[in-house]
Amino acid sequence: MVAGAERDDNGRMTPALSGLLREIAAAPDAHELFERTSTRLRRSVTFDAAVWVATDPVNGLTTAPVRVENLHEGGCGTYWESELFAEHVNLFRDLAVAQVPVAGLRAVTGDRPTLSPLYRSFMRPRGFSDELRAVLRVDGQGWGQVSLFRERGRSAFAAADVAVLHALSAPMARRLRGFARPATGGSDGSHAPGLLLFGADGALLSVNDEARELLALMPPGPSTTTAAGLELPLPVWILSTAGRARLTGDSARIRIRTLTGRWLVCHASCLRDANGEPSTTALVIEHASPSDVAALIVAAYELTRRELEVTELIAAGLSTAAIAAHLRVSAHTVRDHVKSVFDKTGVTSRGELVAALFTEYRQPVAASVTLRVLDGRAG
């Protein structure tokens, strides 16, 4: 057996991989998922530092939660900026559509890591010699990303390491997808939107009271300070969303959960001056509507597109006959779809279904707390 491979010489799953898959299946929330996987993974794949993040499955942008291991605060800013603005080697967005969504930097560059801006600005100054990164992907959607780093003096990540992470990609993505399911809970207070304005250099210029209120409900992250002395903790997913809009000139949008688990939408737009040049970037944070989280509901419960249509028509109050007429199918077909939706969502009535999917969008508090670990080494 090759060390770190997910199968033995007879094609059987190794005990190490079996244990990892059990931990993934048993994780009660996203942070536990990252912690348990990281702890067990070290028994098969050696690494010295790591970044584990959940992502918006629609656009791949970073969202909550984030787990950072053995990287100090100052280094994280460089990591995110390099990934967003400078990186062009071994991109996450390329891995998201690759046949194998895992790759090592030294392998991809033919052992010439200096081709990577991330290596030059982030890895080399911190003594890292290689990075193994993966997109956590299932059914064509990425629900998370991971970067594993090895210090100088260790060997490069090998094909066996890639195989292990590849074996974990879909199970971890499927578990993260399951955490997107709505749950009941309390209110986050005001539903007024929050507004943040960023300058052309990415510095925070101003923020309204509603944004401060909503940001206070989010996990903490890196902070940004303007020349005017405005300092406010801004999670990396806020910075990356605004940064994407500033970089591309297009709008950027993510879904995010607060500490109480309520779904919010953050969308950023790059504003232009009279000459058409990028100037400020406006980022709005507001409570999500049913349509904003419909894609997550479909994915989390593994509903088909037709099952979602039936569910939305049920929420609109249509009878079985009316749904059948609207969709131009038989009433029997509609009943089959309804039964399938009930089975997948674990409800027994139409009222329970509407309450579960379209009333509130919440998650357990433990799933959205950012965690930084500086003593996570086990190998």
Higher pLDDT, 186 or 71: 71
Which pTM does this prediction carry? 0.68
Inside any domain, residue 309: yes
Same domain, 234 and 138: no
Give the mean pLDDT of the chain. 81
Higher pLDDT, 153 or 250: 153
pLDDT of residue 370: 45
Inside any domain, residue 104: yes
Inside any domain, residue 9: no
CATH of the domain at 281: 3.30.450.20
Same domain, 37 and 115: yes
User: Which of 288, 318, 334 marks a domain boundary?
Assistant: 288
pLDDT of residue 157: 97
pLDDT of residue 321: 92
Same domain, 208 and 340: no
Residue type, 126: R
3 state SS for 144-172: EEEEEEEECCCCCCCHHHHHHHHHHHHHH
pLDDT of residue 56: 83
Residue 112 pLDDT exceeds 90 = yes
Question: What tens digit of pLDDT does each residue of 348-358 get?
Answer: 888 778 766 76
Same domain, 102 and 151: yes
Higher pLDDT, 372 or 348: 348
Q: Confidence band (pLDDT; 50, 70, 90) for 290?
A: low
Cβ 225 vs Cβ 231: under 8 Å: yes
| Spatial separation of the C-alpha atoms in residues 209 and 14, rounded to whole Å | 54
Inside any domain, residue 330: yes
What tokens appear for 86 in the block? 């400078």
Inside any domain, residue 379: no
Same domain, 140 and 274: no
CATH of the domain at 341: 1.10.10.10
pLDDT of residue 83: 66
Higher pLDDT, 316 or 327: 327
Same domain, 281 and 334: no
Nearest alpha carbon to residue 129 among 49, 39, 73: 49
Same domain, 129 and 161: yes
Question: What tens digit of pLDDT does each residue of 323-337 get?
Answer: 999 999 999 999 999
pLDDT of residue 3: 40
What is the extent of the structural domain holding 330?
A: 294-358
pLDDT of residue 252: 86
Same domain, 79 and 207: no
Same domain, 26 and 175: yes
Same domain, 102 and 39: yes
Share of the chain above pLDDT 70, in %: 78
Q: What is the total count of domains within the chain?
A: 3
Same domain, 329 and 312: yes
Q: Confidence band (pLDDT; 50, 70, 90) for 10?
A: very low
pLDDT of residue 247: 80
Inside any domain, residue 5: no
Question: What tens digit of pLDDT does each residue of 17-26 get?
Answer: 888 999 999 9
Residue 182 φ/ψ region, left for φ over 0, alpha for ψ in the -120 to 50 degree band, beta for the rest: beta
Inside any domain, residue 10: no
Same domain, 30 and 45: yes
CATH of the domain at 369: 3.30.450.40
pLDDT of residue 351: 76
What tokens appear for 100 in the block? 């194998």
